[in-house]
Structure 1
Amino acid sequence: MKRAGDWEGRLRNASKRQATGASKRSAVEVAAPLPPPKTTARKSVREAQNGASVNEVSEAATEPSQDIFESTVSKTVDSDEVLTELSGAIIEPRGSSSPSPLPSSSSIASFTSTPSVTENQIRYYRLRANHLVNSDLRGPAGLSTIAAALFGIQAQEPVSAFASCWQRMWGGARVHDDGAKQQADPTKKKSSGDDEQHRITLSQLSTWFLSSTGLIRIWGQRATLHMYDRNDWPLICSAVGDFVTAGRVASVKAGRVTGKDAAAELARARDTFRGVLASGQTVSATDIAALGFNPKLTYSILMCATVAGQGGRIDVGGIGTASVLAPRSVIAPEAECPWREVDKADALVEAARRFFKTYGPALETDFRYFMTLTAGPSRQAVETLIASRELTAVTISTRPSPTKLKKKPDIYYISTAALPTLLAPIPPLTQWPVRLLYRFDPLLLAHADKSFWIPAHHKSKVWTPNGIILPTVLVEGRVTATWKFSKEKDETTRFVVSRLPEEEEYGSDTKRELERQGRGFAEFMGLKFGDIAFNKH
C-alpha cells in the first residue's frame, strides 16, 4: 500500500522551527505570517454552516516542465498514497526506500520575495489541481485519486458526486472538448480507442463505486455526505467528527428531528448500535424501529456512527436506494486498511496540506470555510505548515492594492511544492476548456471568497439561500451562466443555458463547445440529446 510521505516528521520539524524562533530560520522567508484575527472572522464560518447545510434541505501554450499533479503533489493526494499510519511510524510511498522529501532549499531559495501572480494564473492552477484540465484519471483508482485530492466529493446527491467525477476523468467531459483543447500529455502513451471506447457513464461510475473497496460515503465537512478515499476515514473522523456529532445532537435536542428533545434517546441508540456494529452485524432502519427507537432518529444514528468510525453506509441495490450501516470490519477490514487514531490538530494539518495543494492559492479563511472550523484550529493548522515552509504566500497583481482598499492585504497561500506549476506559463483564454459543472461541484464549494469565479453581486444566482449550488457554465475560467436540463416527451433532453447579467452573448465557437458538452452530459446520464437553448437571466 502506498503511503503519504513523512507526515509525522513534518510536524516534528515544524515544532522545532517554532521553538527555535525566527532568528534561526532560513534567510528566505517563503510564507508571510497570518494576520491577527479579525472581529468578523467567524462570519465566514457561520455562512459556511448556514449556506451549506445541505443535509437539512436536500442535501497551448507551454506546459510546465514538471507536472506537479503527477509528481510532487501526488505524494500526498494519490489514492494509493494517502494516510495509512499517522502515529508511531514513518509513512513512505510504496516502492520507495525513503520518505517523500520537502522541497529542497535550492528550490525554495529561487523565490527571494513574495511571488506575484494574476487571477488567471490562480484560476488555471485551481482548474488543473482539480483535474478539470487534461485529466488522465481512469477506472476505480481514478475515483479514489479524485476523492483524496479534493478531500471529499460532495455526495448528498449521489448523481452530483458522480457528475463531479465525470468532469475530472478521462472518458468524461474532456473527450467532448474541441480537438484543439485536448492537450494530451505527449509523454504519455494513448491507448487505442480511448476517446470512443472509454466514455464513462453514470451507470458505470455507480458500479465502480459499489464494487470498489477504495471509496466510502460518509458524513464529513459541512455535516454533509461526501465520498472519500477509504484510507482517509480516520482522518475525517478526527478532523470533523466532533463538529458533525455536536451539530446533530444539538438538532435532536432542540426538537428539529423528532419534534421534541430526543437527545437522551439518541444517546441510548448510539450505545446500543455501537455494540451491534462491533459484533459484525449491519444496522437498518427496520432494526432501529424494531428495538423501539424513534425511526426519525435513523439518519442521526447513521451520521454519528460513521464519524465515530464504527460503521459506514452501504446502499442496498445501488446508489440512492435504501441504506444500511455496515460495520467498519466489513467496509475497511483491518488487514487491508489499518485504523490509526489521529490527533485532531494533526488531522487538520493534513487537511490543510491537501487543501492548499488542490484549492490554492487561497486564504486561511477559505480553509476555515471549507472545513467549517472556528478561527483557532484553522489558524493553528495553517501556521504549522507555514513554520515547516510547506506553504508559500503569494500576492495578486490584478487586484486593488491594500492602500486603495484601506485594509490589510489578504494573504494567499499555496503549497510550496506547487509554486513552480502556479508560475508556469498558462494557455490563452481561448484554449481553456468549457465546462458544464453540475450541482455542488467541489470547485465552487471550496472557497469562502467566490469572487475568482463570479462577481459578488451575482453570487445569489448560483448559491441559493437554502444551500443549493446550481449547475454552472465555466468559460475562460469564470462562471458565466447557469444551466438546467429536462427530459422532453419525445425522450430527448433539452438544455437551457442562462447567461448572467452583464455577460456578453456567447460566440458561435463557445455555443458549439457548450453543445458538445451538453451531448456528452446527456450521454453520461444515459439520455438522448435533443437541443440546447441560450437565454439571459
Structure 2
Amino acid sequence: MVITARALNRSTLARQLLLERAPIGVEEAVRRVVGLQAQHPGSPYVALWNRVADFAPEHLDGAVEGFRVVRSTLMRITLHLVHAEDYRAFREGMEPTLRGSRLHDPRFTAAGFTAADADALLPDLLAYAGSARTGAELRERLEAGRGGPVESVAWRMVRQYAPLWHAPTGPPWSFGAAQAFVAADELPVLSDPEASAAGLTALLRRYVEGFGPASVPDMAQFTTVPRRLVRGAVQTLERGGELERFEGADGTVLYDVRGAVRPDEEVAAPPRLMAMWDSTLLAYADRGRILPAAYRKQVIRMNGDALPTLLVDGYVAGVWRPVDGGIEASAFHPLPAGVWEALAAEAESLGRLLAARDPHVYRRFGHWWDKGLPAVESRVLPTR
C-alpha cells in the first residue's frame, strides 16, 4: 500500500494530537506523543497547550514535582520530558548513543577521564543523588570521589550520561536557570547490550505509535541511534508481528503498528502556534512531512535552534514570537483572511497561558528576527 505525503502529514498530526485538542490529562498526553523536547523550560507547556483540551499549566507543574513526568537527556542527546514509566526503557535504548557521545568524546578524554573512570564514579554519585542535589553539590561529590578538581566539560559529560532526572527549580516554569538533579527512581541497566537492544525495541515501537508511519532513517533521526541498531530493533518488531510495511510516494519503506489510525489526507488541520523545538519538526529524516524544504533554513538555524512556528493546513507557514501587545506572526507565504482569524484566536488563548508565566517567552532568541526572515506579511495578534 502506497501512502501519499499528505496522508503521512495527517497521520503525524493525528498521533501528535494536533488535529484536535484531546480531552486527556497531561501525563497521558506526554505518553501519547512519546516525549516533548525540553531544552527551553517553557516549550513543553506551549506544546501541551497545543495538544490538550483546556490545558492547565499547574497540572504539568504537579506532574513534574511528583516526578510522574521527568526531564532528562535522552533522544538526540537533548533534554526531553517523558513519562516516568517510559524513562528506563528509553534510557536503556539510548545507552550506546549516550555512552559513545559523552564518555568517548575527545573533550572528555582530554580532561583526563575515561569511560572506566565514569563507571567507577557513578554508583556513589547516584547514591548521593537519592534526594535532590544541586549541580554544584553533585560536582563536588564527583571531585571528592575523583580526588581532585574535575573540569567543567568532564562534569557536563558525566552529568548528561548519568541516569539523572532534573529536579524542578522554577518558576516561571518548572525549571529555572538553577539546576538540581535526582537519581532516576528505577535505575536503567547501563552498558549492557541485551538491555540496550530491548530498550531500543520498546522505544522505537513507541516512536512508530506516536510518529508513524516512519522509515528506518526517520527512527535513526529521532533517536540518533546508528541505523544498524535501528534495523535490528525493527526486525525484532516485524518478527513479533507488531509492525507492518507500507510504501511512501517516493518508494521509501515505511513501518507502522498494526491497526493504527491513519486519517484521510483531506481531513482538516486547524492552525496552531507551535512551540520552539517542537518534536514534529525534528522527528524525521525527511522533515518535509511537516516543514517545507523551502523554509527549513529559516526555521531550523545553523546552531540547532528550531524557531516557534505557524502551522497552517498541517505545514509550517511561518514563525511567531511574543512582543509587547501580542504575538507577532510572520507568514512565509500569503494566508487567507480566515486563517489569520483562526491564528488570532490561538494567539489570544496562548497569551493567557504566557501572561501568568512569562509573557515574553523565547525573548533571548530575538536575534534571529533581527537577522531577517523571509516573511511576506507580519501581524501582531492581540493577546488581550
TM range (shorter): 0.7 to 0.9
Q: Report the alpha carbon displacement of residue 130 of structure 1 after superposing the two structures with TM.
A: 0.7
Listed one character per residue, the Cα deviations across residues 508-527 of structure 1 (whole Å, up to 9, x for unaligned) are 11111111111111111126
- Tell me the equivalent position of 2:135: 285
Residue 42 of structure 2 aligns to a residue in which SS?
A: helix
1:267, distance to aligned residue in structure 2 (A): 6.1
Describe the SS at the equivalent of 1:446.
coil
| Structure of greater Rg | 1
Candidates 317, 321, 326, aligned match of 2:182: 326
Whether the aligned pair in 1 keeps the contact of 2:111 and 2:151 (CA below 8 Å) is no
Q: Which has the higher contact order (CA 8 A, sep 6+)?
A: 1
Deviation of 1:444 (Å): 1.2
Preserved contact between residue 189 and residue 195 of structure 2 (Cα < 8 Å): no
Amino acid paired to 1:254: R
Choose 377-386 or 266-275, whichever is displaced more: 266-275
Write out aligned runs for 1:124-135 (5 A).
Answer: 124-135=10-21
Gaps of 5+ in 2: 361-373, 378-384
**Separation in 2 of the partners of 1:293 and 1:462?**
40
**Alignment match of 1:213 (pick from 67, 84, 92):** 67
State the alpha-carbon separation in 2 of the partners of residues 410 and 393 from structure 1: 10
Confirm or deny: 8 A CA contact 2:281 2:291 kept in the other structure.
no
The answer to whether the aligner puts 1:123 opposite 2:9 as a matched pair is yes
TM-aligned CA deviation for residue 270 of structure 1: 6.2
Task: Flag the 1:244–1:263 CA change in 2: closer, same or farther, 3 A.
Answer: farther
**Counterpart in the other structure of 1:433:** 270
Aligned residue among 444, 447, 457 for 2:294: 457
Give the SS at the match of 2:110: coil
CA drift at 1:236: 2.0
Answering whether residue 149 of structure 2 is matched by residue 312 of structure 1, we say: no
Q: What is the match of residue 102 of structure 1?
A: none
Change (3 A) 1:374 1:209: same
Structure 2 equivalent of residue 536 of structure 1: 376
CA distance in 2, matches of 1:325, 1:529: 27
State the alpha-carbon separation in 1 of the partners of residues 149 and 118 from structure 2: 7
Post-superposition offset of 1:217:
0.9
Q: TM-score, normalised by structure 2?
A: 0.81
Aligned position for 2:317: 480
Q: What are the within-5 Å matches in structure 2 for residues 504-519 of structure 1?
A: 505-519=334-348
For residues 54-453 of structure 1, the aligned pairs below 5 Å read 115-138=1-24, 142-172=25-55, 200-201=56-57, 204-205=58-59, 207-251=61-105, 253-254=106-107, 261-264=110-113, 268=117, 271-272=120-121, 274-278=123-127, 280=130, 282-287=132-137, 288-289=139-140, 291=144, 292-294=148-150, 296=152, 297-306=154-163, 311-317=164-170, 318-328=174-184, 332=185, 343-396=195-248, 399=249, 409-418=251-260, 421-422=261-262, 425=264, 428=267, 431-453=268-290
Once the 2 structures are TM-superposed, how far is the Cα of residue 241 of structure 1 from its aligned partner?
2.0
Q: Say if 1:509 and 1:282 are closer, same or farther in 2 by CA, change over 3 A.
A: closer
CA distance in 2, matches of 1:448, 1:508: 33
In structure 1, the gaps of 5 or more residues are 1-114, 173-199, 401-408
Residues paired across the two proteins, number: 349
Tell me how far apart the structure 1 counterparts of residues 4 and 214 of structure 2 sit (CA, whole Å).
13
Mapped to 2, the partners of 1:515 and 1:507 lie a distance apart of: 13
Paired residues of 1:434 and 1:513 also in contact (CA < 8 A):
yes
In the aligned structure 2, how far is the partner of 1:316 from the partner of 1:475? 35
Q: Distance in 2 between matches of 1:293 and 1:382?
A: 44
Distance 1:323 1:265, change over 3 A: farther
Percent sequence identity is: 21
Verify the 8 A CA contact 1:154 1:224 in the aligned structure 2: yes
Say if 1:352 and 1:367, in contact at 8 Å, map to a contact too.
Answer: yes
Cα pair 1:302 1:325 within 8 Å, conserved: no
